[in-house]
Amino acid sequence: MTTFIYYADIFGVIVFALSGALMAGRYRLDPFGVMVLAAITAVGGGTIRDIILGAPVFWTVQTEYIVVIFCTALATILFIREPKHVPKRFMHISDAFGLALFAVLGTQKALAYQQPMLVAIIMGTITGVAGGMIRDVICNQIPLILRQEIYATAALIGSVLFVVLIHMGVSQHLAGSLAMLSALVLRLAGIYWQVSLPAFKFDDETND
């Protein structure tokens, strides 16, 4: 793992852990609950990815990820006394950074394990969205991935762009940066302008 990828991964863990900790604060969970929700949000997607790839689960090999999650959750508890006063848009923005980072990093790891491009794209999308999905389910919310909001689509596009750029011979650093930026901009645009995909509506009324 290069230095760039490592620190990008750490940053992604921090912003996703922050997102989970803020969500826990909104639901007034105890400190243990804050830790659990922060951890699930931060490493849930990567854990699923590594299990599918047959790779060592990354946080069991590099335990500093757990330390980072603990410190992020603790800092949230100490310095953000009233999470309900934190704007939801801030939570969505911090989540967007994690989504973009993890989607591309998950794709990169799958490619490093010699997976086909399609599998790498799926692994990247899972890495980006699964942690937040589990967080929302625990908090009894409809996961963002299942709503109209541009969420999984942003992760998917970031993963696809990374694979395409790598296939074209672009360096991993440049390809990763462009793909992350594309996914982030798309997600932030969806938040700012409230752009969404059309909803599927099933009318179960029958005409007599």
Which residue ranges make up each domain of the chain?
Answer: 3-192
Of 139, 105, 116, 130, which Cα lies nearest the Cα of 27? Answer: 139
pLDDT of residue 83: 62
Tokens for 128? 């980006």
Of 191, 192, 118, 193, which Cα lies nearest the Cα of 156? Answer: 118
Tens digits of residue pLDDT in 148-169 = 578 889 999 999 999 999 999 9
β-strand partners of 149? 196
Backbone angles phi, psi at 149, to 5 degrees: -60, 150
pLDDT of residue 4: 77
pLDDT of residue 205: 58
* Inter-CA distances, 199 with 89, 150, 202, Å: 22, 12, 10
pLDDT of residue 85: 66
* Inter-CA distances, 94 with 59, 113, 118, 206, Å: 21, 29, 28, 44
Cα 142 from Cα 159, distance rounded (Å)? 24
Residue length, the chain?
A: 208
pLDDT of residue 203: 65
**Cβ of 62: how many Cβ atoms within 10 Å?**
16
The single residue listed with the structure tokens 């997102």 is 19
Spell out, as residue ranges, where the chain has pLDDT lower than 70.
1, 81-85, 148, 195-208
Of 137, 115, 121, 112, which Cα lies nearest the Cα of 44? Answer: 137
pTM over 0.85: yes
Are 115 and 123 contacting, i.e. CB atoms less than 8 angstroms apart?
yes
DSSP three-state, residue 149: strand
**Cβ of 107: how many Cβ atoms within 10 Å?**
34
pLDDT of residue 111: 96
Are 76 and 25 contacting, i.e. CB atoms less than 8 angstroms apart?
yes
85, HSE (Cβ side, Cα atoms, 13 Å): 5
Backbone angles phi, psi at 196, to 5 degrees: -145, 160
pLDDT of residue 2: 73
